[in-house]
Amino acid sequence: MANRMRKELGRNEAEITIIERSHNHIYQPGLGKLLFGLEKPENLVRPTKDLLLKGINLIIDEVTSIDPKGNKVITAKYGDMSYDYLVIATGARLYLDEPEGMKEGLEKGDNVFTFYTLEGTIKLRDALQKFEGGTIVSSIAEMPIKCLGAPLKFIMLAESAMQRKGIRNKCKFVFTTPTLSVPPNIEPYASALNTILKARGIEVILDFTPARIEAENGILEDFRGNRVEFDLLCITPPHMGEELIQNSEGIGDALGWVPCYRDSLMHRSFNNIYVIGDAGNFPSAKTASGARIQTKVLAQRMKAHIRGEVPKATYDGHTVCPIITKHGRAMFAEFNYTKSISPARESYIKWLIDVYMIRPLYWNFMLKGRF
């Protein structure tokens, strides 16, 4: 967003500052690939400062809250910073206190894992390499989550990996979701994925919201008392907005998501605050591909706003969710707020695009505001 704005506006028109607490940026769409040897950790991390064009101030600090009436953000070390326009892009955080037993299971790291962090991904990758047979379960704790297709991709790739390892007949695969259809919960993708899962012998349990994990007994239980046994559980924890959103009066909802107009990306209560990416309460999926298009729209809208013109660009919810279905095959679920766009078809070309092209595109073009 900052890079796009820097290109759109002259230095006499706008001073652009990013406040970011992390020295490094992680390419999160690569985490699922790292599990199965399709990525290396060093390809997924880059210093934040190297991603920015000249003429953007970077302050490495934690934002503790926003004062929307005073037009300032409050930081941990740097003090207060005032703004004319604020773009909230703080993403989502994992909430580890529920389901019961998840945090302890993840900490122990014997049979409960998540690939929603880089550290967790490396642990799960190592466990998968050592896996010699048994039941692998992928479970979504609650919606919304980042990349709603990722836990499903995981179970399909795990099945494919065990097939390639020659131990498929010693394994069982189960996918649980709190939703009533297979994510991304949109046709024609949900039906096509259902057919693939059935053909591959992957059991799907819908409407399953985990309440408890007993790591020592390998049991996952939902709120109705239904139980699933596992030898290896890959759990996708509940997501919430960042704490600073909850600490800021008038900025977020009870779960820390930022309420905004889905077309203009403007905050519901403050017309000089915008939101992009996972932090917003958009009815579309939380994806980098959606965030990329939002930055294009928002850069145009903010430019118009700053120049006293009427902003015209709008976001239609466009998102592309590449879903690897097995080694050598992928399907792209592409949709917007109102309709699906791409066919629900697997192909080798889509696999090549997802595995080999998207990461270089991300680092060199998307983040640089060139695409």
Ligand X SMILES: Cc1cc2nc3c(=O)[nH]c(=O)nc-3n(C[C@H](O)[C@H](O)[C@H](O)COP(=O)(O)OP(=O)(O)OC[C@H]3O[C@@H](n4cnc5c(N)ncnc54)[C@H](O)[C@@H]3O)c2cc1C
Task: Report the candidate in 350, 362, 353, 352 with the shortest Cα–Cα distance to residue 292.
Answer: 362
At closest approach, how far in Å is the CB of 132 from ligand X? Answer: 25
- Looking at beta carbons only, is 78 or 261 nearer to ligand X? 78
- For 140, residues 6+ apart whose C-beta sits below 8 A from its C-beta are 148, 151, 176, 177, 178, 179, 183, 236
**Which CB atom, from 25 or from 168, has the smaller least distance to ligand X?**
25
Q: What tokens does 80 get?
A: 């207060």
Q: Which residue is nearest to ligand X (CB)?
A: 277
Which residue in this structure is represented by tokens 């073009």? 365
Residue 28 CB, shortest distance to ligand X, in Å, is 3
Cβ nearer to ligand X, comparing 86 with 147: 147
**Strand, helix or coil at 51?**
helix
What pairs with residue 20 in β-bridges? 60
Nearer to ligand X, 221 or 258 (CB): 258
Would you tell me which residues interact with ligand X (CB under 6 A)? 19-22, 28-29, 31-32, 62-63, 89-91, 115-116, 146-147, 150, 242, 244, 277-279, 286-289, 291, 322
Q: Which positions ≥6 away from 34 have C-beta within 8 Å?
A: 40, 41, 44, 115, 121, 122, 125
Token output for 323: 């879903």
Residue 43's alpha-carbon distances to 35, 46, 123, 146, in angstroms, are: 13, 8, 17, 20
Minimum CB separation from ligand X for residue 153, in Å?
A: 8
Nearer to ligand X (CB atom), residue 147 or residue 192: 147
Nearest distance, CB of residue 151 and ligand X, angstroms? 9
C-beta of 22 vs 217, nearer to ligand X: 22
CB of 47 to ligand X, least distance (A): 12
* Interatomic CA distance for residues 176 and 186, integer angstroms: 17
- CB closer to ligand X, 116 vs 274: 116
* Number of neighbours of residue 221 by Cβ within 10 angstroms: 18
At its nearest, how many Å lie between ligand X and the CB of residue 140? 12
Q: Which residue has the tokens 């960042």?
A: 242
The minimum distance between CB 225 and ligand X, in angstroms, equals 30
Question: Phi then psi for 354, rounded to 5 degrees?
Answer: -65, -45
